Structure 1
Amino acid sequence: MVATGEHLYDLPEDCISSIICLTSPRDALKLSLVSSIFRSVAELDCVWDAFLPSDWQHIATKSVTPLKFSSKRDLFFCLCNSILIDDGNKSFALDKLTGKKSYVMSAKELSILYGDEPTHWNWKAIPESRFSKVAELKVICKLVVKAKLRTSMLSANTNYGIYFIMKISDRAFGLSSVPVETSVEIGNRKDVHTATLDHRNGEKDLPDEKQRYERVPYKREDGWMEIELGELFNGGDEDEDEEFTVSLKEVKGFHVKGGLVIEGIEVRPKH
């Protein structure tokens, strides 16, 4: 408590910085608008170092392009803009509001049934993708896509949503009648839902509650569509490490289909 007659601005700089470190990136930016004193403290490296993940140096070494920054604040916002890592097969980003980690695994990082068969899948570059190649379905009877990740990649004490990023080509066929099972499995826990790839339900710019419940694709800001595969609460410390599996697959019957374009699977914090 500040004594009577004293002002919060009269606190030592290290006290103010310690207080800001206990907030969030969003709060730090708001406080920087209060006064010149708060602005100068809110730009200190020690403040933004508290908002960066503890393994940021390891992440930076995996970046395809060397990171350029003059301060920890610059570095934070550089990572918020998304960087390509692991030879360009993943992208990494920090949430601007919270500093929590998020990843997108490219189609190359996924296990796709018959993905290496040219008669079934076409791997190609398209300008709207952040990755060098996407997977376009030519024709197949059974669709199965899986990915394995580890909780050590994610921020602790954070609820994550996991999303399948896709497009439907003009030549698509058979996808509107395909019910698929989506799941997130970790240990003996499995979160299972039913979804549809019917792209006609994805014309809305934002998902409403009905879309969320039915698990149908909807448009993203980047022009792709996404389906929520499930949720995962990562409650452990960042030093703990468990493998979890996410999947999208047909479980009933066989339907000839084609025209699905897969960019990848995203794991991001839910607000």
Structure 2
Amino acid sequence: MEQIQVGGGSSRNGAARLDTLPEDCISMVVSHSWPRDACVVASVSKTVKSAAESDLVWDKFLPPEYSSLVPPRSLDFSSKKEIYMSLADDSVLIDDGKKSFWLEKASGKKCYMLSAMDLNIAWIDRPLYWKWKKDPESKFEKVAKLRHVCWFEIRGKISCGMLSKGTHYSVYAVLKIGGSGSRGLDDTPMEALVGFVGEEAASKTFVLLEPKGTYPRGGYSSGSFREVSTGCSWIEIPVEEVEEERETDGSVEEPKERGDGWSEVKLGNFYNGDGGCDDDGNKIEFSIMGTEQGDWKSGLIFQGVEIRPKKEGD
């Protein structure tokens, strides 16, 4: 289909040709574009606007399963476009409140956040190490607060069939630091893996869960020595030896503020192909592992893992 834009000389000619078609034909043409394009061409004329905002167009942009995800909310809207915009402007809770779902506004691609309750977190059932708490800034009922661990491990999975096909995705951990501060999160890179279950990880990187250089924190000795756990006891070793052990082959991802009271750190990318990956139950798995150094870690508040279409330059 010829791409129709508004603003240039050739685009005016294309828009004029579009305006001469019957309204249902215009709707059919626009339904094969993107939601962003439908909003743009709606400014051409009243006829095109009516066609571009029709249910025929916006039903194509909505995922087939939208009615099962949001049946109560869909009754409050007078058009499919309103339903689409609602799902693009705000997420909805699904899977008994353990996941949230929304649409990328420009493309209609499906996005999810898996709550901490939907992930496998090592030692989460031991209140000495982690505890569940409510957080007014979280979209979920509970978040996981890290109290004190030296073995840090978070894993999760999502079915390929839940995601948009033919789409490059990025995976982010969504987190923040508690009011009393943290320990062992700003100088200990952890390994992050993203890939298909049963296959070699498509993406491997190292991440910090707090921006680098935020310490000193309690639990570290002053001067040129650092306290490191050996499992049941603590020893002091020179700082340069610790840093040498922590050197990685590539760059280390650090958290960035999101503007909603949380920060996010990128765990990796993957491509969800056009083939029927949902037919054979294939899944994407991801993990964050901090188990080798033996450093004690605390102070993290973990909301979940977000999976959304990859942006250009990411």
Normalised by the size of structure 2, how large is the TM-score? Answer: 0.77
1:198 aligned residue: 210
Shift of 1:59: 2.3
Determine the structure 2 residue equivalent to 1:48.
58
Question: Deviations along 1:236-267, whole A, 9 cap, x unmatched?
Answer: 34643411210001142211111011000000
User: Paired residue for 1:189?
Assistant: 200
Count of paired positions: 256
For 1:57 and 1:197, the matched residues in 2 are separated by 37
**Superposition deviation, residue 19 in structure 1:** 1.0
Write the letter of the residue equivalent to 1:222. Answer: D
Aligned mates of 2:67, 2:86 — CA distance in 1: 13
The corresponding residue for 2:253 is 215
Q: Write the distance in 2 (CA, Å) between the matches of 1:150 and 1:42.
A: 33
Name 1:69's counterpart in structure 2. 77
The answer to whether the Cα contact below 8 Å between 2:129 and 2:146 also exists between their aligned partners in 1 is yes
Distance, in Å, in 2 between the alignment partners of 1:232 and 1:221 is: 25
Task: Give the deviation of 1:43 after TM superposition.
Answer: 1.2
Which has the larger displacement, 161-170 or 180-189? 180-189
Q: CA 1:7–1:244 in 2, change beyond 3 Å: closer, same or farther?
A: closer
Deviation of residue 213 (structure 1)? Answer: 4.6
Counterpart amino acid of residue 98 in structure 1: S
Question: For residue 118 of structure 1, what is the aligned residue in structure 2?
Answer: 127
After superposition, the Cα gap between the structure-2 partners of 1:42 and 1:250, relative to the gap in structure 1 and judged at 3 Å, is same
Alignment of 1:30-109 (within 5 A): 30-61=40-71, 66-67=73-74, 68-80=76-88, 81-109=90-118
Which 10-residue stretch deviates more, 97-106 or 167-176? 167-176
> 1:8-66: CA deviations, max 9, x gaps?
322111211111011100000011111111111111100001111122223225xxx64
Aligned mates of 1:7, 1:97 — CA distance in 2: 24
Distance 2:17 2:179 in 1: 64
- Percent of aligned positions that are identical: 38
SS at match of 1:131: coil
1:144 and 1:57 mapped to 2: Cα distance? Answer: 36
Cα pair 2:111 2:163 within 8 Å, conserved: yes
Alignment correspondent of 2:161: 152
**SS of equivalent residue, structure 2 residue 266:** strand
Structure 1 runs not aligned, ≥5 long: 203-211
- Cα gap change, 1:37 to 1:169, in 2 (>3 Å): same
- For the 8 Å contact 1:201–1:218, the answer to whether it is kept is no
Runs (5+) with no aligned partner, structure 2: 3-15, 215-249
The residue type paired with residue 286 of structure 2 is: V
Within 1, Cα distance between the matches of 2:56 and 2:146?
48
Question: Is the contact between residue 178 and residue 198 of structure 1 (CA under 8 Å) also seen in structure 2?
Answer: no
Whole-Å Cα distance in 2 between the matches of residues 185 and 9 of structure 1? 46
Q: 2:7 maps to which residue?
A: none
Task: Find the counterpart in structure 1 of residue 173 from structure 2.
Answer: 164
Equivalent residue letter for 2:46 = S
